[in-house]
A and B are shown apart, each in its own frame.
Chain A
Amino acid sequence: MADEALFLLLHNEMVTGVYKSADQGEVENGRCITKLENMGFRVGQGLIERFTKDTARFKDELDIMKFICKDFWTTVFKKQIDNLRTNHQGIYVLQDNKFRLLTQMSAGKQYLDHAPKYLAFTCGLIRGGLSNLGIKSIVTAEVSAMPACKFQVMIQKM
């Protein structure tokens, strides 16, 4: 629905705003990315509470990751994750070949150095979602050719 355009524009404005109002030092030491990631974290926590209200209990970690890849991603980005890989020891790689927040930006290598800014919020989203499902994790993202991107989730054993 039309809500997609709204969220896309708000997200882009947020990224621009955070970087515009930051000093040079903050940009360099990654403070801006942290801010965006923390916002995503908070949103992810709230969203996952809304979505999993009526779902059944998850059997294990893999079940939770599959939920993130299918239902969560479908609701947020209107498509599923294209590829989920794991080493069964706590590292999962989610690959999205046509990431919604990057499709409008470029289709190749142009603006590649600006891409990480636009992925920070989504990393936080995943981390927040997992955190409220009881999983502590670190989420990073990498882009080699837009609009495909990979999110790497490292589960932290407490």
Chain B
Amino acid sequence: MNLQASWLLRDSQPMWEKDMMAIKPWWVVKGQDKKARNYRRWKIPPYLPNNRDLFVLTYGALVAQLCKDYEKDEDVNNYLDKMGYGIGIRLVEDFLARSCVKKCHSYSEIADLIAQVAFKMYLGITPSVTRNESSRNEFSLILDKNPLVEFVEELPAGRSSLCYCNLLCGVIRGALEMIHLTADVTFLQDRLKGDKVTEIGITFLKKLEEKKCRRKK
């Protein structure tokens, strides 16, 4: 558990030197030490396989299949959003179990938590949070590096309004709904469509009424 915690607390890209000497990841311990020795000689970080590639590639195959099945971009976007919703309502439990965060008292704390803990834990990136000046409920997460589009060069021809990462919107929306917060999550800017950065906008709506909770009991 300690090993996991220290990975989470690291806020900048880890330097290879630190990794090799401080904490030995399992693949080094398992005997692929010669790769590490090669690095020390040639200073090229070895390709260490990780599970993220599997997720990114699977997501890409999924989007490709959806593009084959549905002609309209909106259908694909909606499908991805619904899928993300289904993932988000379950992922939030996993997140709460792993992160042991304290109760949040404001929307900005929640936005910070999503950006700095949740994204870091699942995707390994830390988007920056900006807050819309005009209203207290609107926040945006600005992603410099989006691991989901690591292998994507450009959107396919004829699919200019496809939101490739719409799954993320659904995940955030589903996760927030499970903790009784409704929010509207959309992509404000997308690097694949030509903008400079990828920006996800979260608008917190009215809290779910108390009546719904009592009915479930």
Contact = CB atoms under 8 A, between A and B. Distances in A.
Interface residues of A, number: 32
Interface stretch (A40-48, A105-113, A137-145): A40-48
Given A6-B91, A13-B86, A75 B57 contact: no
Contacts of B35: 54
Given A7-B58, A14-B62, A43-B61, A2 B122 contact: yes
A93 interface: no
B98 A47 contact: no
Interface in B1-33: 4, 7
A78 to B, nearest CB: 8
A38 to B, nearest CB: 8
Nearest to A124: B61
Contacts of B209: none
Interface string A1-32: 11111110111011011000100000000000
Contact of B55 (A3, A17, A78): A3
B49 A2 contact: no
Interface string B51-69: 1111101111110110001
B83 A17 contact: yes
Given A2-B121, A3-B122, A35-B65, A10 B57 contact: no
A6 B151 contact: no
Contact of A47 (B53, B83, B87, B90): B53
Interface string A60-80: 000000000001000110100
A59 B191 CA distance: 44
A75 B53 CA distance: 10
Secondary structure of the A contact surface, majority rule:
helix
A145 B204 CA distance: 46
Contact of B51 (A3, A54, A121): A3
Interface string B73-109: 0000001000100110011001000100000000000
B211 to A, nearest CB: 30
Interface in B97-129: 98, 121-122
A6 B86 contact: no
Contacts of A3: 50-52, 54-55, 122
14 contacts: A2-B94, A2-B122, A3-B50, A3-B52, A3-B55, A4-B51, A9-B90, A10-B58, A10-B83, A17-B83, A40-B61, A43-B58, A54-B35, A121-B58
